[in-house]
Amino acid sequence: MGTRPVPEVNLFVDGQHQPAMNGGYFDRLDPSNDLVASHVACGRREDAEHMVAVATASFPAWSATQVEERAAILQRAKSLMPKYRDRFADCMLREIGATQEWVDFNIKVAIEAIDAAVDLAVFHQAKKCSAETASVPSQQSAFHQTKDSYIVRKPAGVCLAIAPWNAPIVLGMRAVVFPLAFGNTVILKASELSPGTHVLLAELLHEAGIPEGVIGAMTNASEHSEEVITSLISNPSVRRVNFTGSTRVGRIIAGIAAKHLKRCLLELGGKSPLIVLKDANLALAAKEAAYGAFLNQGQICMATDRIIVEQSIADEFIALVTDIAAQLVAGDPRRKGVKLGPVASPSVASRLSALIDDAVDKGATLLTGASRRGQFIDATLLDHITPMMRIYSEECFGPIAGIYRVDSPEEAITVANNCEYGLAAALFTKDLPFAETLANQLESGICHINGATVKDDPYMPFGGLKSSGYGRFGSDACVDEFTEVRWITVNRQT
């Protein structure tokens, strides 16, 4: 039986796969077996500059394309997703150890993101607001009697999209499809951990009919990320930046963007709380807590890091969720029945092990997850979390959930909000009016009542508060992220 060749991943520029100008490559290793998953082009500053030049040259024609034509191209991209499914699955398996469940989730929501972006762009095409329909009443306008006065939206220009590795298809597609639908050209800065998957997205969009130069994909080794990203953001032709990733890196990107007066959308870290009140459907809450905590090994920005449960029903609830978690044993997703794959890298595994050990050393009870094998970490539940433990405040981003016992709904809200992050939250109770009252007290951009913290709808505004970032993908809230608003008046008394 022959050895399978290692896929070569190059930059995607001007409709073609091209090596980096310096000819360099780096290897991305398969987290399940440490074999080389992909041989990846090492883009540098000169490649970034060239990619911006290509995107800039392509912008006038693409921005002038009728929105219906752009929509038709993106709908063709949607129709190509099934054709690319096996290639996406292979890339995600090799690069990030993705299970088939996670691949299918990514493809499903990526298709929904295409629909949402197309619908939003068509709705806002060449939109004019007369003085009578503008936000300022016409009688307050000095122009309403002698001039037409209206607002138009125009594409912003070249957009930089920096996508993460953990959900490479859906978050990669989300990062590029909204700006593309509005008539922008886009450079996708691929993650160093999922470069092949991200470049494949650009290839799919090009096959669908996105013209040469309108979509590009940049790959680079991790040691060159700062050089490449700084070059891209600081380039005068790049007008918008969207980044999904860690809060630490998001702060760096926000600083560079601020220096160059670039608007950026930041979807950053999270430590989502799931609150279980004493009247909740405990079986449902346990099922949704386990789903939110352990899907994709917990490597999701909205993963359930914190399970906050009222003391009076804590033991009963914990028994239910422990039964579910105990069945989630990590392994190579190539094996039949494996629901939990490896974490992304050895450094991630070491950090997670340190969080677990710190909590146990300081009094937490390890309910599940005693076995850790390299990058394979079983679903881990820790009970009796206290503020002295690192896990109380640090984002896990792995298959770990801490259980916090509280005496009242009011204390649950206090504990939930006692966190620097504010992306997603969930709460479980049968008292829906009370649930809505509590939801409005939670400091999060998203809240789900009687549902998991992990939920995605590209038609809805997605983003967080506090250290989880600012700006929104989806819905009317994202229109300003990828367009410029202009005011035009016409004096007809000439």
Enzyme catalytic residues: 267, 301
Q: What secondary structure, in 3-state letters, does the chain show?
A: CCCCCCCEECEEECCEEECCCCCCEEEEECCCCCCEEEEEECCCHHHHHHHHHHHHHHHHHHHHCCHHHHHHHHHHHHHHHHHHHHHHHHHHHHHHCCCHHHHHHHHHHHHHHHHHHHHHHHHCCCCCCCCCCCCCCHHHCCCCCCEEEEEEEEECCEEEEECCCCCHHHHHHHHHHHHHHCCCEEEEECCCCCHHHHHHHHHHHHHHCCCCCCEEEECCCHHHHHHHHHHHHHCCCEEEEEEECCHHHHHHHHHHHHHCCCEEEEECCCCEEEEECCCCCHHHHHHHHHHHHHHHHHCCCCCEEEEEEEHHHHHHHHHHHHHHHCCCCECCCCCCCCCECCCCCHHHHHHHHHHHHHHHHCCCEEEECCCEECCEECCEEEECCCCCCHHHCCCCCCCEEEEEEECCHHHHHHHHHCCCEECEEEEECCCHHHHHHHHCCCCCCEEEECCCCCCCCCCCCECCEECCEECCECCHHHHHHHEEEEEEEEECCC
* Residues β-bridged to residue 447: 425
CB atoms within 10 A of CB 225: 16
Which of 152, 97, 78, 105 minimizes the C-alpha distance to 485? Answer: 152
At 61, list the tokens: 């024609």
Helix axes 225-234, 247-259, angle to 10 degrees: 40
- Kindly tell me the burial class for residue 300, based on how many C-beta atoms sit within 10 Å of its own C-beta (0-12, 13-18, 19 or more): buried
